[in-house]
Structure 1
Amino acid sequence: MTAPSASPLLAIRNLRAAYGKIEALKGVDLDIKAGEIVALIGANGAGKSTLMMTIFGKPRARAGEIRFDGRDITDVPTHQIARLRIAQAPEGRRIFPRMSVAENLQMGADATECSEADRAAGLERVLSLFPRLKERMTQRGGTLSGGEQQMLAIGRALMSRPRLLMLDEPSLGLAPLIARQIFDAIRTLNRQDGLTVLIVEQNANHALRLAHRGYVMVNGLITLSGTGAELLQRPEIRAAYLEGGRRG
């Protein structure tokens, strides 16, 4: 893995967010250093996806602060956050089913107004990671298999040449072999490109083995943190997320 830098690329302090009267984030503190893979695990409904969406500006934070590379982005509109080279592959993939693979990838580049050189380099990198997409460039996204759609969702995010890539449940619903390919691609991006990654993942075992560090979220709060190896050895983590099956 790429060695992370000393200061955080993303710093979150006392972050609160809600859906109407339901408070989903209740004062979250979290740091991600440049060059790190950070895993966020927890049960369904713990607030993991809400945290990712709040970083991206939807929903808006009710309190607290989000800083990216030293800049306060707590109240920055979503389209401007994307231009800072923060990209997300959301849960459920959310590709454009009627657009071709090539058009879906183009949408990722358009989000950050990439130069032609960046577009070309981004496309080359995506197709080197996911050669199956190269065979399907003219095929509509909605006709791809689940694994191919996940590759496309990640590829679309990578087309913006992000500094921070956020992945929400990238292995959800995938066959073990395809899930392994996705995790291998994330590891390659970190080791070879130095890409910083925040990953929310139902498979806590794979996520913590992949990550430099991890956080555990329970009911809208961070309750534990440590290196991936440390969390894997904690008995409460093993009981809740490993030995009893994949639960969040």
Structure 2
Amino acid sequence: MSAAVQNPEAAGQPLLSVRGVKTYYGNIIALKGIDIDVNEGEIVTLIGANGAGKSTLMMTIFGNPRAREGTITYAGRDITRLPTHEIARLNIAQSPEGRRIFPRMTVYENLQMGAAINKFAWFEQDLERVTTMFPRLKERLHQRGGTLSGGEQQMLAIARALMSRPKLLLLDEPSLGLAPLVVKQIFDVIRELNTKDGMTIFLVEQNAYHALKLAHRAYVMVTGAITLSGTGRELLEDPQVQAAYLEGGR
């Protein structure tokens, strides 16, 4: 896969800004004062080992669990205390870890759930768009989500998120457990969403090599804290990152 063209940092206020965020599970601190920015038009990647807190950050941005300290700002608005359903109405969509599609619903019905946030205003147009992006879904529109392969379920999870026409797309482990050919297709779609549609993407990914090649900027998380940041290229070439996340991982 070819490297993403490095984007100059967007001027002005970040689209998404996380400042001093601490999240707890009971008395256990999962996020230890996180500072992250995602500028408009960027792909920003967060890498780290299992259990580092990456998915917790994604869920905290969406309001569940709630940040106990710090602030989360989207498009200049403080969303730290907003309920999840209100955050979803602000042109933010999430494709969560583990896909979490509706297994008893058909592919078509799952996509309807994504479009409901916009009251189906552009449903047919967006359905055509996502099924062109993922032709396999077009073949399986009337098949139950739970009967799809893992790769097809991941395509459906991303397509469902796209049906809400997000300005910011949060992707949590989109390549997890998938065959290499499917991983390539998923990453190609992520690149296309950014380069052709100008979509801003915040990507949590264990496949550090491909994620860093794709990213304009990236962060490394270790046990609930950000330990490194830089451009995707800089982190690809960083000896610490190479030793911890890239050796043998290509």
Q: TM-score, normalised by structure 1?
A: 0.95
State the partner residue of 1:113.
118
Residues 140-162 of structure 1, C-alpha deviation per residue, up to 9 Å, x if partnerless?
Answer: 00111111000000000000000
State the shift of 1:123 in Å: 1.5
Trace 1:74-93 onto structure 2 (pairs within 5 A). 74-93=80-99
State the partner residue of 1:211.
215
**Partner SS state of residue 205, structure 1:** helix
State the partner residue of 2:42.
36
Whether 2:33 is the aligned partner of 1:27: answer: yes
Whether 2:71 is the aligned partner of 1:65: answer: yes
Whether 2:31 is the aligned partner of 1:16: answer: no
Q: Which amino acid aligns with 2:200?
A: T
Q: Matches of 2:80 and 2:124 in 1, distance apart?
A: 32
**Partner SS state of residue 233, structure 2:** helix
Do the aligned partners of 1:114 and 1:160 also contact (CA within 8 Å) in 2? Answer: no
Do the aligned partners of 1:55 and 1:74 also contact (CA within 8 Å) in 2? Answer: yes
State the partner residue of 1:154.
158
Q: Matches of 1:212 and 1:121 in 2, distance apart?
A: 30
State the shift of 1:113 in Å: 2.8
Q: Matches of 1:175 and 1:38 in 2, distance apart?
A: 23
Q: Matches of 1:3 and 1:244 in 2, distance apart?
A: 30
State the partner residue of 1:163.
167
**Partner SS state of residue 123, structure 1:** helix
State the partner residue of 1:129.
133
Q: Matches of 2:9 and 2:162 in 1, distance apart?
A: 20
Q: TM-score, normalised by structure 2?
A: 0.95
Gaps of 5+ in 2: none
Q: Matches of 1:154 and 1:28 in 2, distance apart?
A: 26
Do the aligned partners of 2:48 and 2:222 also contact (CA within 8 Å) in 1? Answer: yes
Quote the RMSD (CA, aligned, Å).
1.3
Residues 147-184 of structure 1, C-alpha deviation per residue, up to 9 Å, x if partnerless?
Answer: 10000000000000001111111000100000000000
**Partner SS state of residue 65, structure 1:** strand
Percent identity of paired positions between Structure 1 and Structure 2: 69
Gaps of 5+ in 1: none
Q: Matches of 1:115 and 1:147 in 2, distance apart?
A: 26
Residues 27-64 of structure 1, C-alpha deviation per residue, up to 9 Å, x if partnerless?
Answer: 00000001000000011111100000000000000000
**Counterpart among 203, 222, 228 of residue 226 in structure 2:** 222
**Counterpart among 47, 50, 66 of residue 56 in structure 2:** 50
Whether 2:229 is the aligned partner of 1:238: answer: no
Whether 2:14 is the aligned partner of 1:5: answer: no
State the shift of 1:219 in Å: 1.1
**Partner SS state of residue 99, structure 1:** coil
Trace 1:155-194 onto structure 2 (pairs within 5 A). 155-194=159-198
Do the aligned partners of 2:209 and 2:249 also contact (CA within 8 Å) in 1? Answer: no
Do the aligned partners of 1:4 and 1:35 also contact (CA within 8 Å) in 2? Answer: no
Q: Matches of 2:17 and 2:148 in 1, distance apart?
A: 37
Q: Matches of 1:146 and 1:17 in 2, distance apart?
A: 30
